[in-house]
Amino acid sequence: MKLIFVTGGVVSSLGKGIVTASLASLLCSRGVKLKIRKLDPYLNVDPGTMSPYQHGEVYVTDDGYETDLDLGHYERFTDITCSKNDSISSGKIYSTILAKERRGEYLGSTVQVIPHVTEEIKKSITKSSHKDDVVICEIGGTVGDIESLPFLEAIRQFKNESQFDTLLIHLTLLPYIETSGEVKTKPTQHSVKELLNSGIQPDVIVCRSNQKISKEEIQKISLFCNVPSNAVIPSYDVNSIYQVPQLLSKSKLDDLVIKKLKIKPIKAKNLTVWENFEILESKTKEDLKIFIIGKYVHLKDSYKSLYEAIYHAGIHNQANVMIKWIDSETINKKNVNELLKSASGILIPGGFGNRGIPGKLEAIKFARENNVPFLGICLGMQLTIIEYVRNVIRLKNSGSSEFGKYKNNIISLMTEWNLKNKKIKRSKENDLGATMRLGAYPCFIKKNSLASKIYRKKMISERHRHRYEVNPKFKSIIEKGDLIFSGFSKDKKLLEIVENKNHKWFLAVQYHPELKSKPFKPHPIFLSFIKNSLAHKNV
């Protein structure tokens, strides 16, 4: 088995995920079978309960695992579908070890970082990978962080074991000092020394820089970091992350990896999909304003997949989409018209909790009454229904049990549907754990609906991440007006898609379509949303 490890040094957020995904894409284009895995040093079991402001979005796999957003990059750049085995955190490792210890599986041994933690890390890296030629592992955080040490030790052990061919790629920053007009290599040298302190010599160094790196600087890095000069790979800033595969290909990173690991590619490299996408990027004709009304808008990574899905659809519609992020807490009845009047399309994304809900409801009402193309996702769908029931159907004391006690809980936990006034006490912990619907589920689409025109399929599969559902007993009440349900589970108890039949383009879905969008295969919902937003702009 061939193992590739990608580490980062100097500072975080250099783009290890993009480099990892780009390399995977280049190898996949040659017919190499591979898996991509993310190793995160934090002690959370997964990022599901972490604040989006600390960790960015939670990416969900088909098999229902909450993972790091980098797995989204892996799937967008390749045709690989990631699974729960591809997200490995320190918390997950330690949980497994402690469970084994309680069961007595260590036969009285003192459980230690070496060998027990490192062995569990190694097992996780190679798990279910016997059919693959290569496993690529991105190590989260920055070399030198104390949390990363067990992962680096596991890598050191892999490099010493003869049954594994391993290669380590280290991504660093070459800062440009404007006052002296110099690109500095010293931070890279220190970063490599940190790796050497862990007993690891990098095989390839990828240097991130916003300035051209001279041959002299490459030779200096080669000399001081003990790597060949052809293994010092420049990685310059580009206009789009989707240009990185071609950038790394020009630097011959994939050729170097194939040669060093003695990989036998099945076919010649083919970058046609990336070349075609770059051509599309250069053909954008007009600007388009899409307003996203969210709760975590101060950190764009909180909605990373959403941003990328809109970008993909914009490029394929030859539109330069300009997203205006609006904090829903800043919207009220008095300012909503002024804030949203220039929107060509309005989108309400997913989220949890009651903060900012009134502003989102005002934005939905504005889109509905002003015939502005509208897309609601997850919580956005639930609020779409609540807004309509309150303002059009005028059902009194209606809302979601997530936000308070209502006589008519239009949105509620499935466990609440059949309570019938029984006073059943459930802890918040049990609700959070027992009612979350995660991963891919089938959805059946109603004929002659907007959803059927978008998908052109009778049945679809989309990924979910939520715990509250539309209570089906209110379906007939809701459909008395313009809203109709056009997507549902096979037994029709779970309502998945709602649309306004008398609106220009008004759709809301319970799932997260953004998780399946790719640059060379944009999601049909976003394609249609952007297309109709362009039409609305040009009326």
User: How many whole angstroms separate alpha carbon 23 and alpha carbon 17?
Assistant: 10
* The predicted structure's pLDDT at residue 418: 61
Say if residues 511 and 495 touch (Cβ distance below 8 Å). no
Say if residues 505 and 532 touch (Cβ distance below 8 Å). yes
Question: Do 375 and 522 fall within a single domain?
Answer: yes
What Cα–Cα distance (Å) separates residue 465 from each residue in 328, 330, 351, 403? 21, 26, 10, 18
Element (H, E) at 347: strand 345-348
User: How many whole angstroms separate alpha carbon 67 and alpha carbon 526?
Assistant: 23
The residues facing 204 across adjacent strands are 169
Token pair belonging to 182: 């110099």
Q: Which residues of 101-128 are buried (b: 16+ CB within 10 A; e: fewer)?
A: eeeeeeeeeeeeeeebbbebbbebbbee
Question: Do 19 and 158 fall within a single domain?
Answer: yes
CATH number (domain holding residue 214):
3.40.50.300
- Residue 490 in 3-state DSSP? coil
Orientation angle between helical segments 304-316 and 524-537, nearest 10 degrees:
60
Where is the domain boundary, 231, 253, 277? 277
Where is the domain boundary, 246, 277, 308? 277
Question: Do 400 and 525 fall within a single domain?
Answer: yes
* The predicted structure's pLDDT at residue 122: 95
Strands of the 204-209 sheet, one edge to the other: 87-89, 34-40, 134-139, 2-8, 165-173, 204-209, 232-236
Question: Do 28 and 170 fall within a single domain?
Answer: yes
Question: Do 109 and 42 fall within a single domain?
Answer: yes
Rounded to two decimals, the pTM is: 0.92
Dihedral sign (CA 26, 28, 30, 33): positive
The residues facing 182 across adjacent strands are 177
Question: Do 166 and 234 fall within a single domain?
Answer: yes
User: How many whole angstroms separate alpha carbon 401 and alpha carbon 405?
Assistant: 6
Question: Do 260 and 408 fall within a single domain?
Answer: no
Question: Do 177 and 325 fall within a single domain?
Answer: no
Query: What are phi and psi for residue 170, nearest 5 degrees?
Result: -115, 125
* The predicted structure's pLDDT at residue 422: 43
Question: Do 200 and 329 fall within a single domain?
Answer: no
* The predicted structure's pLDDT at residue 76: 97
C-alpha 510: how far from its chain's center?
17
For tokens 């039409």, what's the residue? 535
Catalytic residues, by residue number, are 378, 512, 514
* The predicted structure's pLDDT at residue 201: 95
- Residue 39 in 3-state DSSP? strand
Question: Do 69 and 105 fall within a single domain?
Answer: yes
Question: Do 251 and 398 fall within a single domain?
Answer: no
* The predicted structure's pLDDT at residue 163: 72
* The predicted structure's pLDDT at residue 442: 96
Question: Do 271 and 301 fall within a single domain?
Answer: no
Where is the domain boundary, 229, 247, 277? 277
Dihedral sign (CA 35, 36, 41, 46): negative
What Cα–Cα distance (Å) separates residue 433 from each residue in 286, 289, 436? 46, 38, 6
pLDDT tens, residue order, the chain (539 aa): 899 999 999 888 889 999 999 999 999 999 999 999 999 999 999 998 888 888 889 999 999 999 999 999 999 999 899 999 999 999 999 999 999 999 999 988 999 999 999 999 999 999 988 889 999 999 999 998 999 999 999 999 998 887 779 999 999 999 999 888 889 999 999 999 999 999 999 999 999 999 999 999 999 999 999 999 999 999 999 999 999 999 999 999 999 999 999 999 889 999 999 999 999 999 998 999 999 999 888 888 899 999 999 999 999 999 999 999 999 999 999 999 999 999 999 999 998 888 899 999 999 999 999 999 999 999 999 999 999 999 999 999 988 988 888 889 999 988 887 644 444 343 333 344 446 899 999 999 999 999 999 999 999 999 999 999 999 999 999 998 899 999 999 998 899 999 999 999 999 999 999 999 999 999 999 999 999 999 999 87
- Residue 232 in 3-state DSSP? strand
Whole domain around residue 175: which residue ranges? Answer: 2-277
What Cα–Cα distance (Å) separates residue 396 from each residue in 342, 391, 536? 33, 10, 34
C-alpha 441: how far from its chain's center?
18
CATH number (domain holding residue 521):
3.40.50.880
Q: Give the count of domains, the chain.
A: 2
DSSP-derived letter for residue 483 is: E
**Contacting residues for 84 by C-beta, under 8 A, at least 6 apart:** 61, 63, 64, 65, 67
For residue 274, give the nearest of 15, 518, 525 by alpha carbon. Answer: 518
